[in-house]
Amino acid sequence: MIEARRSIFSRLVAGAIVLSLVLLAGLWWLTHQTVSSTLQEAARAEVDVDLAGLADIYATGGTAELQARIADRIALTPVEGSTSHYLLADDSGRRIAGDLAQWPPLDPAVSESGIITIGTNSRGFARAVQLGPNLRLVVARGIDIEAPVLSSIAMAFAGGGVVFIALVALLGRFAALGLQRRIERINLAFREPQDGAGLAAAGRIDGDEIDELTAHSGAALARVNDLLAAYKDTSEQLAHEIRTPLSHLDNRLVKALAQKPDPAIAEKLAEARSEIRRIVQTLESLLDIAASKANRGDRSGLAPVDLSALVTGICELYAGSAEEAGLALDWTIAPGVTINGDERQLGRLVTNMLDNALKYVPRGGHVAITLEPGPVLVVADDGPGVDPQDRERIFDRFYRGRGKGEQTSGSGLGLALARAIAERHGLTLTLEEPAADGPGGAVFRIAAAK
């Protein structure tokens, strides 16, 4: 299973939440600017209307009447917190009437307008006009209501945003879980292609693109399974058809040898039997290589294997053969190294590596086996080593390397099979460079693939 932090569905939900936050912030900013602009425009309109009315009063009733009307309007509301504020003054700024303490920084000659300070903590929109010689008037409308209104809007957006984001996260998570379950059906079918239930689940069609992908995946896996089954049947039948006549031929050779023929003929018959065994062994190796490559990456059917015990047992078995060949075989095995795999195939991997070492190392040589957690298995020898031009070719099927300058015997399938088995178990088999200060030879390293 993919970790939640790496799942595309978790990233989609997180992306939806981030996008929602950005949209909410943008909507709040737009609302804030719109409300603020609307309140200021309303104050501007009220000031202009009020100012026009007072200008008419001055034109018809003079300064005394204007002073009286200003006083009446101020009296309608308290001075502190009032919505309308006035100042009638001469050109020097001396107050004649009104509640503003001083003339604001506005030019009455051009009917300038702007935001001014009213009292201690209040602000308002104001406009100044020149009514006549040595007489000017400023009318202001408080806009202190703007701050609480905008604050209320911000609180509403914050509360509503929390609910909205929670709903987006909840609904997004539910939708993502649904998609995740449907994708998991496909992954299940690929992880366990032999599982009929997995393939059946992958074949259900509900109508959208994912279901179409599921159906195609299930059909493709079914075709692959059919091909693999046909390949297996054909291989087994071919192997049977070849083994059977070879077995009959071998039995005939055994009977011929039992009749104690001429020594020269007996030698030829024994060589024929050896050739038959070599052909059978080659056939089995080819089948094993093909099966390992076909199952590469497929973890089904694998079980925990105590690699430490397996390698130790094989080394103990080979100790006698190495001694007879005049070789020193040492092994250093870390305890408790395990791997999920096929014990029979892993055993064949190790024996192939030992057979290869014993074949190429001359008498008096040394072979060392080390196993470390990881797992990391190293088979090193002090033999003639591998020609640089053969470093990769030795893993090819039917390629036989050279030892001590001569072509060696064998089918050339040992290392090819060992690499195929390693890849089947998620391992890599490589030929490493020997240590510069070491005895040389060949160093084969089997480790977990990166």
43-87 pLDDT tens trace: 788 888 888 888 888 888 888 888 888 888 888 765 444 578 888
Last residue of a domain, one of 148, 166, 196: 148
Task: Summarize the confidence of residues 400-422 as an average pLDDT.
Answer: 62
Q: What is the mean pLDDT of residues 202-206?
A: 54
CATH code of residue 84 = 3.30.450
Least confident span in 203-207, 378-382, 442-446: 203-207
pLDDT of 120 strictly over 80: no
The more confident residue out of 89 and 246 is 89
Do 334 and 438 lie in one domain? The reply is yes
pLDDT category at 289 given cuts 50, 70, 90 is low
Residue 86 maps to a domain: yes
What pLDDT does residue 1 have? 46
Mean pLDDT of 91-113: 87
The DSSP bridge partners found for residue 89 are: 95, 136
- Whose tokens are 């992954």? That residue is 187
CB 396 within 8 Å of CB 286: no
At 102 the pLDDT is: 86
Residue 407 belongs to some domain of the structure: yes
* Furthest C-alpha separation in the chain: 155
Backbone angles phi, psi at 89, to 5 degrees: -145, 165
Q: How far apart are CA 330 and CA 385, in angstroms?
A: 18
Q: Which of 113-117, 120-124, 243-247 is predicted least confidently?
A: 243-247
Whether 231 is covered by a domain: the verdict is: yes
Q: Is residue 29 over pLDDT 50? A: yes
The pair of structure tokens assigned to 137 is 């008037």
Q: Is residue 199 situated within a structural domain?
A: no
What is residue 428's predicted lDDT score, i.e. its pLDDT? Answer: 84
Residue 408 pLDDT exceeds 60 = no
Which range, 138-152, 158-172, 378-392, 426-440, has the best average confidence (pLDDT)?
158-172
One domain for residues 105 and 26:
yes
Distances (CA, A) of 345 to 145, 190, 322: 83, 23, 22
Counted residue by residue, the chain has a size of 450
108 and 47 co-located in one domain = yes
Asked whether residue 109 is assigned to any structural domain, the reply reads: yes
Chain center to CA of 271: 59
pLDDT at 435: 63
More confident: 103 or 227: 103
CA 47 → CA 51, 110, 124, distances in Å? 6, 16, 10
Lowest mean per-residue pLDDT among 78-82, 357-361, 411-415, 431-435 = 78-82
One domain for residues 278 and 334 = no
Q: Is residue 194 part of a domain?
A: no
Over range 406-434, report the average pLDDT.
Answer: 72
pLDDT in tens, 247-256: 777 777 777 7
Predicted pLDDT of residue 444: 86
Q: What is the pLDDT of residue 6?
A: 62
Is the pLDDT assigned to residue 169 strictly greater than 60? yes
Task: Identify the domain boundary among 98, 116, 148.
Answer: 148
pLDDT at position 301 is 65
How many structural domains comprise the chain? 3
Which amino acid, 363? R
Report pLDDT for 265: 80
Verify that 437 and 311 share a domain, yes or no. Answer: yes
Q: Are residues 309 and 288 in the same domain?
A: no
Task: Let me know whether 382 and 280 are in one domain.
Answer: no
Question: For residue 403, what is the domain's CATH number?
Answer: 3.30.565.10
List of residues 6+ apart from 304 with CB closer than 8 A: 338, 339, 340
Same domain? 310 vs 440: yes
Q: Does residue 223 sit in the same domain as residue 250?
A: yes
Domain end among 294, 315, 348: 294
CB under 8 Å to 357, separation ≥6 — which residues? Answer: 367, 379, 381, 383, 442
Pairing of strands 366-372, 303-306: unpaired
Torsion of CA 236, 239, 244, 249, to 10 degrees: -170
Q: Angle at the Cα of 295 (from 294 to 296), degrees rounded to 5? A: 95
For the whole prediction, is pTM greater than 0.75? no
Question: 88 and 96 in contact (C-beta within 8 Å)?
Answer: yes
Share of the chain above pLDDT 70, in %: 76
The mean pLDDT of 266-272, rounded to a whole number, is 78
List the one residue out of 142, 132, 77 whose CA is nearest residue 109: 132
Statement: residue 287 has pLDDT above 50: yes
Q: Given phi > 0 = left and psi -120 to 50 = alpha, else beta, which region is 222?
A: alpha
Q: What is the DSSP string of 45-91?
A: HHHHHHHHHHHHHHHHHHHHHHHHHHHHHHHTS-STT-SEEEEEE-T
Give the integer Cα–Cα distance in Å for 79 and 206.
73
Cα separation of 85 and 65, whole Å? 17
In a domain, 204, yes or no: no
The pLDDT mean for the chain works out to 77
Q: Which residue has the higher pLDDT, 257 or 401?
A: 257
C-beta neighbour count of 138 within 10 angstroms: 24
Does residue 270 belong to any structural domain of this protein?
Answer: yes
| pLDDT of 204 over the 70 cut | no
Q: For residue 16, what are the domain limits?
A: 8-148
pLDDT score recorded for residue 77: 60
What is the CB neighbour count within 10 angstroms for residue 18? 11
- Convert the pLDDT of each residue in 209-222 to its tens digit: 777 777 777 777 77
* Shared domain check, 65 and 34: yes
Claim to verify: residue 308 and residue 442 sit in the same structural domain: yes
Q: What is the pLDDT of residue 52?
A: 87
The answer on 337 and 438 residing in a single domain is yes
The predicted pLDDT at position 81 comes to 43
- pLDDT > 80? residue 405: no
Question: CB of 380 within 8 A of CB of 442?
Answer: yes
